[in-house]
Amino acid sequence: MIDKPLFGATVIMLLIGLIMSYSLSSYTIIQHHYTDTHFFIRQLIAVVVGIFFIVVLSKLDANRWFKPIGVFIFLIFLTILLMMPLLSERFVRSIGGAKRWIDFGVISITPVEFYKIGFIMFISMSLVRTRLPRGTMELKDEIRIFIPYLVILILSTLLIAVFQKDLGQTLVISATLLVLFLLVGSSFRFFSILFAIGLIGLSLLIITQPHRIKRIKEWFLSFDNSANRLETYQISNSLDAINHGGFFGQGLGNGQYKLGFLSEVHTDFILSGIIEELGFVSILFIVLIMLFIIFRIFKIAARVDNPIYYLFCVGAGLLLIFSFLINSFGISGITPIKGIAVPFLSYGGSQIVASSITIGLILMISKEIKPRR
Amino acid sequence: MVRFGIVITVFVLFWIMLISRIYQISIKSNLYYEGLAKNNIERKYFIKPVRGEILDRNRKLLAVNKIGFSIKIAPHLKMDSKELNQTIDSIIEEFPDYNRTKLLKRYKKKDSYYNHRFIKIIDFISYEDMIGAYPKLTINKLIKIDSETERYYPAGSMATHIVGYVGRSNKRDNSRDNVVDKVGVVGKTGLEREYNKVLEGELGYRTVKVSATNRVVAELEKKRPIEDQNLILNIDLDLQKKINELFKGQAGVAIVMNVNGDVLAAVSYPSYDPNLFVGGISSKDWKALIDDLNHPFTNKIVAGLYPPGSSIKMGMALAYSKSGKGTLDKAEYCKGYIKIGKNKHKFRCWSKWGHGTVNLRKAIRESCDVYFYNKSLQVGINDMSKYLNEFGLGVKTGIDLPRERSGVIPNKEWKMRTYKQPWYLGETIIASIGQGYDLVTPIQVARYTAFLATKKLPTPHLAHIVAGNTVKPEYKMIDVNWRYLDLIRKGMYDVCNSPRGTARKFMSHLPIVVAGKTGTSQVISIPQREKRRMKESQMEYYSRSHAWLTTYAPFHNPKYVVTVLVEHGGHGGSTSAPIAAAIYRWMYKKGYFKEEQPPAK
């Protein structure tokens, strides 16, 4: 049986994102002289394509299609990522030296969104061979076993964090991998070592990039009420927007901060925009749906027999969790701001389609659950 | 599945943290963020009021706002763009005095993404200069020409010490006054400073709703500024000019005041052109003014301190009478000096051979020092100073000018406080003829003369109408013995009219009858730093005494006081008197002494 509640919850999220892409882009379209449905139509197409993928994938037989699709996605997008630094400016759109988009004329895509799924699929297919007798292994053996994955991870990190300058995605992938290791049976000692290495790597990535240091400084300044608000512009406006929303919000379409105060309000700051217009209740609602989606995914994971499917479901759930948490912690000032799309909600075709494919694959897997007696 | 549990627990903690944080921002911290949010979307633009003008009694202009233009350029032009360069070039073509690099620098400094208003690159161009350029410049849509005002003093140096001038405000001015802060201009001296609050008016404002890049979305509130609050003075500009002419080649002060306190003219000479200061003074001009040995910057009317000399004698006589100790009826014998103390120190009268028997009227007429020496010994310094203060000497007059000084009429306590020394009897003697520690300002002497003429001590006023409200004359009634005052006045009459009067030569043939008193105040010492700058030939001049003459007229029905002080003028009768006489002649010619028409039935 396909998990219909999961499908329903996903569609609700997609619809919320669709509506907000219309409401929140109202300043941006004026600024760029677009028609007022510019973003809406594009998002609508993405949502339609996304739902199409969910439906098609969920119909397929997991035992026949999961592996080929996984290998296909992983190889294709790994190749693209590898090629991107080499591709000419004609095909690769770069902003501030960050080459994140591939331009195909009509559409441009963000390969890293798809690569994340491929990566999880690859990891789950490979890790399964190394489900280990817990606690009985030497650290040496452990390192030897996990080394191939670490190489993949370091390669991804290099590609995404250094060439694409996308620390957010790197964080999501690394954190997911780390937790997967833990679940697969690595020792706490090994996990701790990895965690420490991760932290060091993260620090290195931050201090080598002035704009990242600036973000951190802004974040520190945001706790200081007397700080110059131009210096903490993004974070202050985000907090102000959330506050302006109050309990029930200003009403759909009535947001003030979307009028140019919050840059990227329909993408990275969509949660602030939603909270301003629909209030604290809306974030509560969104978080509940998000938790529901994750709960359903984990439930499926717990109930499938095939360890590949188990690992993939958990990994996909973790991807969603980390993406959502990194973004929402940033916009609410708990951590420095990290530009990363909110799954299902943020404007952006690649993100919508990739998230949908993830859900489609999980729904495909959900058919494998044996009905309980 | 312990591991699974741990992972779940950690995640649950993360989600709870998120929800509670958002709850805290959106609901708990409402008040704080509400204020911030309002700041972010509401902008208050102030509308600057036009500074009030200053006019003389005949509505002649003393301080006006020159109307001209500022030039602004559209924002967001690229630094090296053709548009910007052509625009700047077209401006420089019309106004070649401006430096291209400076204009560009100014533009760059003010241009920002958040500014959508045109950027001012030239502050002020006069109407005359703009007429020719206007049609050409306005073709360019990137140029905006706005009307602008700049303070201008049409009377130039004629009334500087009264009117004062405005200048760019500094940090302290800004923190004290909100209007100054927004307008950037403050009255620095004179009436511009004294009445700054009135002249500057009140800010208007416009509250608007803006988008993040400061584009105006809607207007919420508008209030017009309160402006054009004019000041109409008692001053007669023509009389000021006349007096300035009379002082040519000399230095000093002349004050013409109605006995009720209305100041018709007050000249501190030499003066300077306040217009030099409006756009910032050049260092060359500044040095020339600051090095001038005649102190053009000192407002000698209210801040010039001079020993009153013999002009104090009328007040001294009245002080003797009020103290009740020395009787003025008793004549004194003047043999040219008195001797006091153990070592028989000699105090000389100005007349070497003495005045013989001297009564009150003669003491004033001939300015006999011995008369006052003797009586001062009976009265004592404390009573003398107490009553002289009451007559307005050694105290501030309350005139509407800033930085007035009070001068000194000493007593024992004052000397102890200032010099930590006891009072000597000899000091009482020289104080009785207005020398020694005595220091007064010319405006004090003018006010005191008005009191002698009317028995009322007025508060001098320069302003007649302040923002539509007429200033009422204020005065204090002073109780003095009528008979003695009459004798003193007769003595003053004699000074100007009798054959033995010290000012008779110039004051006796005037169309109106004048009473007055001369005075000579010794220059005690010349400050070292000034001595160094003086030439030998100048030394003699700068060590000469100051010459006082204070008068009122007409004698029988006093209306005006004329007080003249010529610095280093020697004797009042010969240097101050010609000036005073010319002032009276001019005033007579202009109809100041015409009997007022009886009010219509």
ipTM (interface predicted TM) = 0.84
Question: Between chain A and chain B, how many beta carbons pairs sit less than 8 Å apart?
Answer: 78
Give the closest residue to B486 by CA, choosing from B462, B514, B452.
Answer: B452
Cα B377 to Cα A73: distance, rounded to the nearest angstrom:
119
Write out the residue range of the structural domain in which residue A172 sits.
4-366
What is the residue range of B250's domain?
A: 237-589
In a domain, A193, yes or no: yes
- Whether B388 maps to a domain, the answer reads yes
Lowest mean pLDDT among A346-360, B120-134, B313-327: B120-134
Question: Who wins on pLDDT, B40 or B72?
Answer: B72
Across chain A, what does the average pLDDT equal?
84
Number of domains in chain A: 1
Q: Is the pLDDT of residue B42 over 80?
A: no
Is B416 an 8 Å CB contact of chain A? no
Where are the extended beta strands (E) located within chain A?
Answer: 92-95, 98-103, 108-109
What tokens were used for A323?
A: 């993406």
Q: Which residue did the predictor score with more confidence, A362 or B292?
A: A362
Q: Is residue A317 part of a domain?
A: yes
In a domain, A372, yes or no: no
A:62-121 residues touching chain B, CB 8 A cutoff: none
B409 and B282 together in one domain = yes
Question: Are B220 and B241 part of one and the same domain?
Answer: no
> What CA–CA distances, in Å, run from A339 to A47, A240, A333, B59?
21, 18, 13, 69
In a domain, B31, yes or no: no
Type of residue found at B15? W
Handedness of CA A166, A172, A173, A175 (dihedral sign): positive
β-partners of residue B152 are B64
> Would an 8 Å CB–CB cutoff place A284 in contact with chain B?
yes
Mark whether B142 and B191 lie in a shared domain.
no
Within this chain, do residues B180 and B96 fall inside the same structural domain, yes or no? Answer: no
Helices (H), strands (E): how many in chain A? 13, 3
- The mean pLDDT of A199-218, rounded to a whole number, is 84
Q: How close A216 gets to chain B, by Cα (Å)?
A: 19
Summarised one tens digit per residue, pLDDT across range A151-168 is: 877 777 777 877 777 888
CATH assignment of the domain containing B125? 3.30.70
Residue after which a domain boundary falls, among B148, B163, B195: B148
Q: Report the candidate in B7, B51, B334 with the shortest Cα–Cα distance to residue A183.
A: B7
Please name the residue that has the structure tokens 């003393």.
B62
Distance CA B384, CA B558 (A): 26
Widest CA span of chain A, in angstroms? 64
Q: Does some domain include residue B216?
A: yes
Asked which of B148, B180, B207 is the last residue of a domain, the reply is: B148
Closest C-alpha to B219, from B42, B48, B40 = B42
Residue of B21, B23, B25, B209 to mutate, testing the A interface (most A Cβ within 10 Å of its Cβ): B25
pLDDT at position B601 is: 46
CB contact under 8 A, A280 and B27: yes
Contacts of B29 in chain A (CB under 8 A): 243
Same domain, B227 and B336: no
Q: What is the mean pLDDT of residues A190-202?
A: 86
Residue B37 has pLDDT above 70, yes or no: no
What pLDDT sits at residue B108? 85
Total domain count, chain B: 3
Using CB atoms and an 8 Å cut-off, which of residues 199-218 of chain B contact chain A? 211-213
Mean pLDDT of B76-98: 86
Backbone φ and ψ for A61, nearest 5 degrees, come out as: -85, 120
List the single range of B23-32, B227-236, B396-405 with lowest mean pLDDT: B23-32
A chain contacts of residue B211, beta-carbon cutoff 8 Å: 27, 259-260
Residue A103 has phi, psi (to 5 degrees) of -95, 120
Q: What is the SS3 assignment for B195?
A: coil
Residue B509 covered by a domain: yes
pLDDT higher than 90, residue B318? yes
CB atoms within 10 A of CB B318: 23
From A58-72, B208-222, B566-580, the region with the lowest mean pLDDT: B208-222
CA separation for the pair A186, A171 (Å, rounded): 20
What is the rounded average pLDDT of the residues B147-152?
83
**Whether residue B288 sits in one domain with residue B176:** no
Q: For residue A66, which phi and psi values (nearest 5 degrees)? A: -60, -50
The catalytic residues of B are 310
**Residue among B7, B11, B15 whose CB faces A183 most closely:** B7
Please report, for residues B29, B260, B512, B557, B594, the alpha-carbon distance to residue B554 in angstroms, rounded to integers and kept in the order given: 78, 14, 6, 5, 11
* Phi then psi dihedrals of residue B304, to 5 deg: -85, 125
Residue B65 to residue B53: CA distance in whole angstroms: 7
Cis bond upstream, residue B270 (ω within 30) = yes
Question: How many Cβ atoms are within 10 Å of B314's Cβ, its own excluded?
Answer: 26
| β-pair partners for B252 | B269, B566
Interface test with A, best of B14, B24, B26, B209 (most A CBs within 10 A): B26
Q: Which letter, b or e, does each residue of B139-177 get, where b requires 16 or more Cβ atoms within 10 Å of its Cβ?
A: eeebbbbeebbbbbbebbbbbbbbbbbbbebeeebbeeb
Q: Residues B130, B228: one domain? A: no
Measured distance CA(A127)–CA(B59) in Å, rounded: 99
pLDDT at position B138: 79
Residue (of A366, A1, A322) closest to A170 by Cα position: A322
Cα distance between residue B313 and residue B383, in whole Å: 15
Answer yes or no: is B304 within a domain.
yes
- Position B158 pLDDT exceeds 70: yes
Six-digit token pair at A60? 């397929």
In a domain, B25, yes or no: no
